[in-house]
Structure 1
Amino acid sequence: MAEIKDQRHPQYTKDRQILNDLLTQNSPSNRDFADLARLIIRYKGFMGARDIQADLIKVLTKWQFTEEELFTKTKAIHAIGKVYMAQDEGQDDWA
């Protein structure tokens, strides 16, 4: 049986930088919560980027959130208004 090879996500480099910033946050902003939720969704079930997947769990643990609590919080954040600055408009980063 062939061994499954890990894939490299096309957004890996950009996501790694964002995640490195999140790892240093002790008082996360709404943007930080939204970024964490977005990255968790992006990498859930992804065959690769094991370091990112492990660090996402580290951030959740550090901030003392479960995935469900994070998603509830970010849904409320998105319901109030825009989380991302105008400079990000036009960029589809959900891929």
Structure 2
Amino acid sequence: MTEDKGQTHPLYATDREVVDSLLGHEGAPGPDQLTSAARLLMRYDGFPGSPDIKEDIERALKGWALDRDGLNAKCREIWAQGWRPGQTLDDTVGSGADVEDSGS
């Protein structure tokens, strides 16, 4: 009989893609990378399976010279600035479609 290595998370395939992008990210991590890492750490914390996901997120954090506490502190700062997924920190609210160029 084979040994049970835990469950496979229903979102494993999409999460694996995100983790692979975190590992492949060059330079300092931005809000997307930091919040994605924190989100996935929370999702897989205590989950009985997918050890590769957990190990690779920890490896990404190590590459960024962060631990979980440091990651959480950075994410709190990001959220406090009003950032939301899919938005850069310098984005303004609204699409800008209703703004006309005044030419002045």
Q: TM-score range by the shorter chain?
A: 0.7 to 0.9
User: Normalising to structure 1: TM-score of the pair?
Assistant: 0.81
Specify the structure having the higher radius of gyration (Cα).
2
- RMSD (Å), alpha carbons: 1.6
Partner of 2:74: 73
Q: Map of 1:37-56 to 2, 5 A cutoff?
A: 37-56=38-57
Q: Which has the higher helix share?
A: 1
**Structure 2 unaligned blocks of 5 or more:** 88-104
Q: Deviations over 1:46-76 (max 9, x none)?
A: 1000110110110110000010010011011
Compare relative contact order (CA 8 Å, sep 6+) and give the higher one, 1 or 2. 1
2:19 maps to which residue?
A: 19
1:6-41 deviation line (CA, Å, top 9, x unaligned): 111111111000000000113211111000000011
Q: TM-score, normalised by structure 2?
A: 0.74
Give structure 1 regions of 4+ aligned residues with deviation exceeding 4 angstroms.
none
**Partners in 2 of 1:5 and 1:20 — Cα distance?**
21
CA contact (8 A) 2:32 2:86 kept: no
How many residues are matched? Answer: 84
Unaligned runs of 5+ in 1: 87-95
